[in-house]
Amino acid sequence: MGHGSREIKINKRRLLHDLNAVSRIGLGDHGSVTRLVFSIKELRSRQLLIHLMTQAGLEIHIDRIGNIFGRLNGSNPRAPAVLAGSHLDTVVQGGKFDGPVGVIGALEAVRTLKENKVPLSSPVEVVCFIGEESSRFGFSTLGSSLVAGQVHKEDLANAVDAQGTKLEDILSSLGIYRDNLASLKRDPETLKAYLELHIEQGPILEAKNKKIGVVTSIAAPTRFKVVFTGQADHSGTTPMEMRKDALVAAANLITYIEEVCSEFSSMDKGRVVGTVGAMKIEPGVINAIPGKAELSVDIRSITAEAKERVANLVRERAREIAQRREITVDLLPIRDELPVALDERLLPLIKEICEEKNVPYEIMPSGAGHDAMQMAKITPAGMIFIPSKRGISHSPMEWTDPEDICLGAQLLLETIVRVANEEI
């Protein structure tokens, strides 16, 4: 195909219009967007996508969990397919771009290819993965993990939302049980590659005045819950030396996490980051000593060694704190994943396309997790980043210039054509 594809241009107006339509679903205060996995809003965004795919004449397949695949056949319908997509679910009060840019961007690319009857030898599929964000169950990349065969029954044990709803119960209502998790796995033989367009969610591209990020690897999180159990007592009658305050123990640990991660935060030490993003206190009233404190720990790094080392230090410190304060601690694993390297053939290909089009690019790792890190386990995966204003994401302040979104989708189109028609 080569040169011909270069004149094929996406329809910018249509892309931005559809992106806008998605972002109106779940719109809240200050322009925030909330579409939690398996909520009505999230379901409506998926219905809109199905509608748009139908309009575009794509062949739609929806698997049992609700991952959506919209397929455009190439000259050889039996050839392995090139998948391109991302997710439509969001965090609580998130932004308009994290996820939808990759889904609607891929849709725009594929419908442009179809309209222009661009010859493709492999089929191309637009994909929307369910539940990429972990905000509801502490479980990230749910849909793509199932497609990649990466969900194991023990992963579901601690996945419960703030209302007490178990992820496992929702899954079983969809016919997905501990013993058939593997049935959602996609046969790798049917895949040629997976491509994902996504906002950077960090400040590097803007700071370096680059338009595109070509992603080398994805930092994966180690996540666990720490539950300190002391003794709830009267805040007025219990002397300081007799207290078993679970929240003070938690506070000690949180401060330690900041300290130890800062020690390992430089690039050569593994760029470790650690966060306690959620906490539950019992009884949680002004006149009682906290008897129970449950905190979520999320540790990430670009190397498995650094992440493991820091996670172990944090676990050790939690035990020490509990021992010193004569209270108990439980460490409940949520998920422990290895950083993932993206495909070594797709990376130079995307780089080459940037060079051909004179687009300033940056070769960079991703600090945030993405569906691509799961898909990389079953097929060659590549990611294209576009700039995030001031690096902000998971916030209503999230912003990417429309021109950058269009450029990203255009580059995705070029990449899809090359991957569909060439040996990789």
Closest by alpha carbon to 254, among 242, 246, 264, 266?
246
# residues near Zn ion by CB under 5 A: 2
Report the C-alpha gap between 332 and 202 in whole angstroms.
Answer: 30
**Which region among 94-102, 262-270, 277-285, 406-414 touches Zn ion (by CB under 5 A)?**
94-102
Cβ closest to Zn ion, residue 99 vs residue 105: 99
Nearer to Zn ion, 98 or 343 (CB): 98
Task: State in angstroms the smallest separation of the CB of 98 from Zn ion.
Answer: 4
Of 361 and 385, which CB lies nearer to Zn ion in the complex structure? 385
By rule CB under 5 A, what string of x and - marks binding of each residue 177-206 to Zn ion? ------------------------------
Stretch that binds Zn ion, among 96-104, 184-192, 286-294, 308-316 (CB under 5 A): 96-104
Cβ 402 to Zn ion shortest distance, Å: 19
- Helix, strand, coil shares, percent, the chain, to 5: 40, 25, 35
Nearer to Zn ion, 42 or 98 (CB): 98
For residue 160, list its beta bridge partners: 166
- The answer to whether 34 and 92 have CB atoms below 8 angstroms apart is yes
**Sites for Zn ion among residues 222-241 (CB under 5 A):** none
Q: Among residue numbers 314 through 333, which ones bind Zn ion (CB under 5 A)? A: none
Distance CA 144, CA 202 (A): 23
Between 99 and 270, CB nearer to Zn ion: 99
Report, in Å, the least distance between residue 97 CB and Zn ion.
Answer: 9
Pairing of strands 191-199, 81-87: parallel
* Residue (of 64, 22, 192, 202) closest to 123 by Cα position: 192
Residue-by-residue DSSP string for 103-114: HHHHHHHHHHHH
Closest CA to 111 of 49, 61, 198: 49
**b vs e for 334-347, b when ≥16 Cβ sit within 10 Å of the residue's Cβ?**
bbbbebbbbbeebb
99/365 with CB nearer Zn ion: 99
Provide the minimum distance between the beta carbon of 99 and Zn ion in the complex, in angstroms, as a whole number: 4
> Among residues 98, 125, 196, 294, which is the contact residue for Zn ion, using CB under 5 A?
98
Residue keyed to tokens 């796995």: 185
| CA nearest to 250, candidates 217, 216, 284 | 284
Element (H, E) at 48: helix 40-55
By CB under 5 A, residue 99 contacts Zn ion: yes
CB 199 to Zn ion: min, Å: 8
Q: Which is nearer to Zn ion, 74 or 99 (CB)?
A: 99
> Collapsing DSSP states into helix, strand and coil, what is residue 196?
strand
Which residue, 100 or 123, has its beta carbon nearer to Zn ion?
100
Report yes or no: 15 and 405 within 8 Å, Cβ to Cβ.
yes
Least Å distance between CB 290 and Zn ion? 34
Examine residue 125 and tell whether it contacts Zn ion (CB under 5 A).
no
Q: Looking at 95-103, 155-163, 257-265, 320-328, which segment touches Zn ion (CB under 5 A)?
A: 95-103
Q: Which residues contact Zn ion (rule: CB under 5 A)? A: 98-99
